[in-house]
Amino acid sequence: MTEDMARNVLRRFVNSKRCYGNRAAEELIIQELKQQTLYRYRLQTFNETRLSESTFEPYTNTLVDGPQNGASPCPWNIKVQGPRMFQEDQKKCRVPHSSLVKECHKCHGRGRYKCSGCHGAGRMRCVTCSGAKHKAKHQKHQKRCQMCSGTGRKRCSTCSGRGHKTCATCQGEKRLLHFIQLMITWRNNVHEFISEHSELNFPRELLSKATGENIFKDQNTLVYPLVDFPYPEISLASQRAIGEHNAAFASTSRILQQRQTIELIPVTEVRYQYAGKQYLYYIYGMENKVHALDYPERYCCGCTII
């Protein structure tokens, strides 16, 4: 990273910000370039979990795959097409030979139930005249209620005057198809470790989104911890991450694939002078992102600082 490169990177960054002035980027005096390289270790464990639960749906006279066709297979013996490795997904499927038709427990096989608003009558007392059929205009004169047309009763708004409502559980079909549903979840679990560097006053969370140069990749059903890596803290991070993932996922799910990588992330601290004051900014990642928290020509307009 040369001074010209550092200046050009800052110019592009400032020009992309609506509330940043470019005068400081043009006139700053670079005093020091401090270049560092951080290591990012990443372990990805792609696992699959399967959970089964009893459920039901309205029965619409479809074919029933019940116990008469054989015993239901165990959850892990059911073949399901999964996603590509390290791509998360979720699927639901019906367990073979687990279906059974029963009468709807909510409406007891009637397909409907009495309206609770009108108790099956279809009409209710008019709330405007309280069933009196008229409204008092003066003490000696009465006016017929216009809301109920003088009948004292109105059509029930809950059931639209039918006196009953369609059962929401069976949707009027009177019977339910009970079956066992299998919920399959594929999840990519990520453990990340970035090497420490006490000399850099840099937000570490930004490094997670930065692109690095890949120098090591190991992918298998189960990977082994790194041994004798030139930086011991990376080896320790590998041993700790693999141990934690295997303990967390091996007993409750099926580990399909693991992948561990090591990347080099370049970080350059640029110290500069502008208008007699000292400032700094950081250039990081292979894409040369900029973090300039104290840029001198910054105006308040609601822009997010990155």
Of 43, 29, 1, 9, nearest in space to 193 by CA? 43
pTM of the prediction? 0.75
What integer pLDDT is reported at residue 304 of this predicted model? 46
DSSP 20: B
- Considering its fold, how many domains does the chain have in total? 3
Residues 203 and 278 both lie in one domain:
yes
CA distance 55 to 34: 62
What integer pLDDT is reported at residue 94 of this predicted model? 95
What integer pLDDT is reported at residue 133 of this predicted model? 52
List, run by run, the mean pLDDT of 10-residue segments along the chain (306 residues): 91 86 89 90 97 96 94 94 96 96 93 80 72 54 69 75 86 95 97 81 82 95 93 94 95 96 94 92 92 82 49
DSSP 69: G
β-partners of residue 39 are 264
Residue 28 falls inside a structural domain? yes
What integer pLDDT is reported at residue 141 of this predicted model? 60
Range of the domain at 57: 49-76+83-105+176-185
Residues 285 and 244 both lie in one domain:
yes
What integer pLDDT is reported at residue 180 of this predicted model? 97
| Dihedral of alpha carbons 45, 48, 51, 56, sign | positive
What integer pLDDT is reported at residue 135 of this predicted model? 59
User: Which residue is associated with the tokens 């005249």?
Assistant: 129
What integer pLDDT is reported at residue 66 of this predicted model? 95
Residues 233 and 248 both lie in one domain:
yes
